[in-house]
Amino acid sequence: MPKAAEEIVTLNGSHGEGGGALLRTALCMSALTQKPVVIHSVRGAMRKPGLSHEDFALLSALAISCNARLEGDDVGSRKLAFAPQQLPKAIKFDFDITRIGPGKSPGNTLVVAHSLAALLSRAGAYSSVHLFGETHNNNTLNFDAFELATCRAHLAQGIGIYPHLTSAGFGFANRGEVVVEYEPSATNPIDWQSRGGIVRSGAWVTAVELHSRLINDAATAALKKLQEAGLGDDLELIEVSGPEPGLSVTFHTQFERGFASSSACLPKGGKPFETVHRAWEEFHAFLGTSATVDPFLADQLLLTAAFAEGKTTYTTSVITRRLQTIAWVIKQFLPIAITIKGTEGSPGTITVQR
């Protein structure tokens, strides 16, 4: 039976941050609430508007899980209609983001994998997603941060996400390979108003086909940062396969109530020490606050928190426009109380009450 017109949610894709987070949140909320959505001006505030390759990958998975009807689901499309025809079901999904169009297509595997977490955790059976695309890059979610912070934080919410890195894709449009499994879960509220003590801290240095001197330089510099800060000497050196050389440094910590991480990748012609410094600078700045989660994790926790029965509270070192945009989208689908106390660019407290 067709959905009533008044049930259709219509969104301006240029609202707030106006990028991929708005689109991904809207699609997942549509699937979870069974309310069709129409989005115009897709990624309208971005330098390159329109449906991206990773958006297309997410849409493909959602369409299978929800038997959705789609209109405007072409890469570059600026208007998209998504209408789920059934509640989410478990899937086994295999997708190569790098081969959507001619040549190599850009797209982050972890962004796609994470976007599916709220949906597939409620699908009633185990799901598996097998993706090819970028796994480690600057200014986006990389595999190490996903495993060390994102998945562990979601596990505290009761959501089991288990990633495996088969090969690493460093940089724009590179072709790594990941498998992510999702177990059926009931989402729990979290009360992370204060972080408590540190449970563990450390660093991962992940490398593909680099000279041992460069790898050792990065490991030595990362270990020195940890020790000087009194965070111990838990450093893992991980050498993996991949189509092109690369190196990533990720610092991570777990509190009694909260998680954080920060990553950086070695640019072409860059120096290992500079990469370590870039990752450490952001991580150290977070440690100097009283926040329970870093700004990126604050964004990632919000959608799943919206489906936990009860009250969720956590604090972040920086309120982002992305966080505010995600909250706005969720409210278009659910009569839910989401309070973000604080101003953009400053520390704040997030409360979600169902």
DSSP string covering 319-343, please? B-HHHHHHHHHHHHHS--EEEEES-
- pLDDT higher than threshold 50 for residue 14: yes
- pLDDT higher than threshold 60 for residue 51: yes
Order of strands, sheet of 348-353, starting from the edge strand that comes earlier in the sequence: 191-192, 311-316, 348-353, 337-341
- Predicted local distance difference test score (pLDDT) of residue 52: 96
- pLDDT higher than threshold 70 for residue 3: no
- Predicted local distance difference test score (pLDDT) of residue 25: 98
DSSP single-letter state for residue 263: E
SS3 at position 157: coil
- Predicted local distance difference test score (pLDDT) of residue 267: 93
Q: Where would I find the beta strands (DSSP E) of 197-328?
A: 198-208, 235-239, 246-255, 258-265, 311-316
Question: Which residue type is seen at 65?
Answer: S
- Predicted local distance difference test score (pLDDT) of residue 76: 96
- Predicted local distance difference test score (pLDDT) of residue 354: 86
pTM for this prediction = 0.96
Q: What tens digit of pLDDT does each residue of 285-319 get?
A: 999 999 999 999 999 999 999 999 999 999 999 99
- pLDDT higher than threshold 70 for residue 5: no
- Predicted local distance difference test score (pLDDT) of residue 92: 98
- Predicted local distance difference test score (pLDDT) of residue 103: 80
- Predicted local distance difference test score (pLDDT) of residue 6: 53
- Predicted local distance difference test score (pLDDT) of residue 101: 83
Q: What tens digit of pLDDT does each residue of 184-239 get?
A: 999 999 999 999 999 999 999 999 999 999 999 999 999 999 999 999 999 999 99
Average pLDDT of the chain is 96
Phi and psi at residue 226, to the nearest 5°: -60, -45
d(C-alpha 281, C-alpha 301), whole Å: 23
- Predicted local distance difference test score (pLDDT) of residue 1: 32
d(C-alpha 28, C-alpha 51), whole Å: 15
- pLDDT higher than threshold 50 for residue 4: no
Q: What tens digit of pLDDT does each residue of 70-87 get?
A: 999 999 999 999 999 999
Q: CA angle, 22 as apex, 166 and 294 as ends, to 5°?
A: 65
